[in-house]
Structure 1
């Protein structure tokens, strides 16, 4: 498979995504009971075989979707953190893709299904998904449970890896949407990692394969999100599943779905997961990844932490009667509502001072403007205030939003501290 051919496939998949998109998912906060009927409807459809392989602490069934007959086994799991749902949506889109036929992708489908056997675990942490929280019902972070195996969900994942012995595993997560690409100020829409298997971060054949697969996926995504792909920090975490699965002999590819401006429910990033995963599966099926260079992986910029949701630059505040020029960094936090089916914003003042080395997803130049609050500006308080030029109001901030852009779920948030 040539690079040009792979890129053509990626563009076609990207443009055709709506055809295979599981229409049930319109937001991230869906629950286990929402996916069960979808899985029931997929069982026996086309190449898919759906079976229960375990259950959560609270007795919610955990399912496996199997497809393909090839020698290269691939294990893909999503939502081991319950509030990281982007890839779960993408997996259901991939299920629809794999069951389709008679379209322009029959050859691609056949290549994947005859050369790989795929094992998908959508929503590995259904109890966490119920609460839309990172941790399991036992309040344990499953991704720090690879050694002790005190969560039934984590024990299941290790058992699957040890039993199936897959060539490649895809660990599918969401990351903080305020990660940037290096120090560029650009938001990291997707970040990758070839996890380390030891403290020295050595590279053996298993980890090299991960780097090669990621190099190919990065090139694929650059066509859609140029300069917005980053590389996660590879410091060895001895308790994490990604690091240990690499250590146990399965090539581990970590995909982190970040943020994309204007895409609160991550539908754009869902599409990018669909494209990246399918093109990677094609590369595994054909062996094309073997032509990739690990140097291209190392050239991907690392995640940076220089982003705020909103950055106000050069505002003047009054301290003890004296004017002080400051930058103000604001982050819009999501607080679950309606049994974690929805959320409201709680936007807080995250930092105050010289933030010239930082960026904002939204920025306001407040040079010559005075920031007025009902009480002295403090870290952690709700970001509600006005920006004045003399006595004229230029911008009115309500809970981190201003003027006519204030959404309904940002209103009526009282002033609080963290």
Structure 2
């Protein structure tokens, strides 16, 4: 009997997978048609969303309601579509600096407002009513920070409910008595899938609703939908999915919404090589969320085995932007072998609409269990301090006319510039700019310091590390360099 059931399950799963594969492939391949082009970077603000929300307020397909306000008075809007009995509630940007899913939500709106995918959309909207609360923390988004104007983490306010944003989330969830909830976040780009060098591009969690981590039907359904979504992501980012630890957090909204009877799915958008603005990850959100909603509408997720959830690798945090392995580091007359892990930290500009990098060495020593988005095996290479170019350069325009690569090959990593524009916060050139009187500190490779040095092989300078960016001086390939530093 068990063999017969297993065979039937496999047939059903294969049928659903084939059916879903066609839909997800079409969603992925046609994505650019529906991408909301006005939202093309991470640092979006409420005023970027306002005209889009107003457009849907005037559209008969959608229902738009103001359901609350932030501390600073920005409106919180619920956008609904569909007439089915199953209520699916999706909220995003509870943390102001986590906007990837907010962008994907407006891509999803564009699809529902189009004449395409009519069969699939009719099936979704006949069986489900979808409710979206994008940008729950608009005050945090305004200054691109995690916390709200009160300075609290809204995701730890489910019990006390001190924040108006948290009060709104609770009130909406209760009024809908939502069957499914999608809790949409961003996570650090430095998470990796356990014991691999692959970033956790998407991470999932079906939060526990008690300390015992019991699995009831509601939580089990969330786990099944996550398995379904994981199978989709594997097609486009193989091995780049993680699973969060499910220890119960009694203050967290996800855990409590699960406890209150909504099958809750946490989605965290992490890192993807070369995707600084997370636009590829946004696309993966769009495809996987829509596919999951379709699975809920058709109820084919019910056939998925619960034990598949535990097979998703756990999240780990062992990624660096750049890892240098096995480099020789001379110190006090002796040579040592070092691995160096460094990250490019973002520094917001004043208007919180762009950023520059100020990099740091995060760790050094034996980093053999860590990984890098970019890794150089520096066996046989020697770390060497960079020098200050001996001549004064009159201006940025004069520096732009110089052969920077030649300077780096000559061992120079700093250039003195007489007139440094006040508005310039960082150097656009792959070399540090210093003022006339600035004294470069004694060179050290040390945790917390800016990673800037030369790599030699024998007597030949082969690479430069400038502000945590690796520059291969023997290659003409375009690099991912963004900026060096200015020291006035």
TM-score normalized by structure 1? 0.96
Query: What does residue range 41-120 of structure 1 map to in structure 2 within 5 Å?
Result: 41-101=55-115, 103=116, 105-120=117-132
Report the Cα distance in structure 1 between the residues aligned to 2:456 and 2:164, rounded to whole angstroms. 56
Report the Cα distance in structure 1 between the residues aligned to 2:300 and 2:34, rounded to whole angstroms. 25
Match in the other structure for 1:376: 444
Verify: 1:386 aligned to 2:448, yes or no. Answer: no
Report the Cα distance in structure 2 between the residues aligned to 1:224 and 1:392, rounded to whole angstroms. 41
Contact 1:398-1:406 within 8 A present in 2 as well: no
Pick one of 460, 467, 470 that aligns with 1:399: 467
Deviation at 1:409, TM superposition (A): 4.2
Pick one of 268, 276, 279 that aligns with 1:256: 268
Deviation at 1:131, TM superposition (A): 0.6
Match in the other structure for 1:124: 136
Report the Cα distance in structure 2 between the residues aligned to 1:413 and 1:268, rounded to whole angstroms. 32
Task: Report 1 or 2 for greater relative contact order, CA contacts < 8 Å, sequence distance ≥ 6.
Answer: 1
Unaligned runs of 5+ in 1: none
Deviation at 1:338, TM superposition (A): 3.9
Deviations 1:282-322 (A, max 9, x none): 11111111111111111100111221111100111122221
Pick one of 136, 141, 163 that aligns with 1:151: 163
Deviation at 1:337, TM superposition (A): 0.8
Indicate the RMSD between aligned Cα atoms, in angstroms.
1.5
Match in the other structure for 1:200: 212
Which range is displaced more, 373-382 or 322-331? 373-382
Deviation at 1:345, TM superposition (A): 0.7
Contact 1:46-1:99 within 8 A present in 2 as well: no
Verify: 1:360 aligned to 2:372, yes or no. Answer: yes
Report the Cα distance in structure 1 between the residues aligned to 2:239 and 2:444, rounded to whole angstroms. 39
Contact 1:343-1:409 within 8 A present in 2 as well: no
Match in the other structure for 2:32: 18
Match in the other structure for 2:201: 189
Which range is displaced more, 396-405 or 75-84? 396-405
Deviation at 1:392, TM superposition (A): 2.5
Unaligned runs of 5+ in 2: 1-14, 386-441, 473-477
Report the Cα distance in structure 2 between the residues aligned to 1:402 and 1:283, rounded to whole angstroms. 44
Report the Cα distance in structure 2 between the residues aligned to 1:406 and 1:107, rounded to whole angstroms. 45
Deviations 1:50-95 (A, max 9, x none): 1211110000111110100000001100100001000001000000
State the structure with more CA Rg. Answer: 2
Match in the other structure for 1:243: 255
Report the Cα distance in structure 2 between the residues aligned to 1:203 and 1:255, rounded to whole angstroms. 19
Match in the other structure for 1:348: 360
Report the Cα distance in structure 2 between the residues aligned to 1:408 and 1:397, rounded to whole angstroms. 10
Match in the other structure for 2:424: none
Runs ≥4 in structure 1, deviation > 6 angstroms? none
Deviation at 1:147, TM superposition (A): 0.9
Query: How many equivalent pairs are there?
Result: 413
Report the Cα distance in structure 1 between the residues aligned to 2:274 and 2:114, rounded to whole angstroms. 31
